[in-house]
Amino acid sequence: MMERFNRAVALGGACWRVLMLDKEMLLFPILSVLALGGVLGLVFTPAYMYGTLQQFAETLQESGDPYTNPSFVALMFLLYFLGYFVVTFFNAGLLTCAMIRMSGEDPTVMDGLRAAARMLPQIFAWALFAASVGMILNFISSRSKGLGRIFAGLMGAAWSVAVYFAVPALVVEGVGPVRAVRQSVGMIRKTWGEALVANAGLTILHLAAVYLTIPFVFFLVKDWEQDPVRSMVIAALLVVWIAFTGLIVSTLNAILKAALYIYAYEGRVPENFDSHIMRNAFSED
């Protein structure tokens, strides 16, 4: 297990080197957040201005069980769909740029956006499929208690693992959602150790960055009344720090997916990756 962890660390270092060659890849998660915010604003702003949103919230409060309200179910599905569609679109662009770099070429942000635009039918189908599964899992979780809730959580975790390579499959092969899940499961079987350990390592890295802010939070609480302006500046810097580290981790994770998928699908060692590391990543130990 220690050897597998060391290989995962080496993969993470290689992903960092790729990112340093094309720092503009960091723009894709930013564009994703901005686009999602814009889309949700277009959905909710008119409803809020005309009072429809408030009436809808009151109706849900009176009903007790929101899933008995067809409007709630439709709204939830719309939000799931929009979220998956926007995030998948920009992830596809990011993965395209990573794969171009790993082929020895120099990508641009427009290369990624154009590639994602060409895949709109596949992205649309994937968003519908993923939103449906997400709604079902959320419904099961809301109806479960005790061990049932734990089982529902395990189902959600298993789904997250199963679709780890789904978007790379969309990018490389342009397949439909069911085929993408099958391809993803096949890749996970080959790379389960490195993919999951490296992904967990990146998640832990982000959590560590968040935990580093805890002493500053205590300082803010104590200092707020004495110097609120300084406290607000520090609070803003902490938010920027957490967002920036999350941005880097999500981009590194996309690069990792691209590298493992390229090697598993094409049998080619990605540019800037060590052939020994990649071969060992697919070993049985």
Q: What pTM value is reported for the model?
A: 0.81
Please give the full DSSP string across 4-61, using - where no structure is assigned: HHHHHHHHHHHHHHHHHH-GGGGHHHHHHHHHHHHHHHHHHHHHHHTTHHHHHHHHHH
Q: How far apart are the C-alpha atoms of 252 and 16, rounded to whole Å? A: 7
Q: How far apart are the C-alpha atoms of 44 and 38, rounded to whole Å? A: 10
Q: Per-residue pLDDT tens, the chain, 285 aa: give them.
A: 566 666 667 777 888 888 998 899 999 999 999 999 998 888 788 777 766 667 766 666 666 666 677 777 888 888 899 999 999 999 999 999 999 998 888 899 999 999 999 999 999 999 999 999 988 888 888 777 777 778 878 888 888 888 888 999 888 888 889 999 988 888 777 665 556 666 666 677 777 778 788 887 777 777 777 777 777 888 888 888 888 888 898 898 889 888 888 887 777 888 878 777 676 665 544
Going by C-alpha positions, the residue among 188, 258, 255 that lies closest to residue 13 is 255
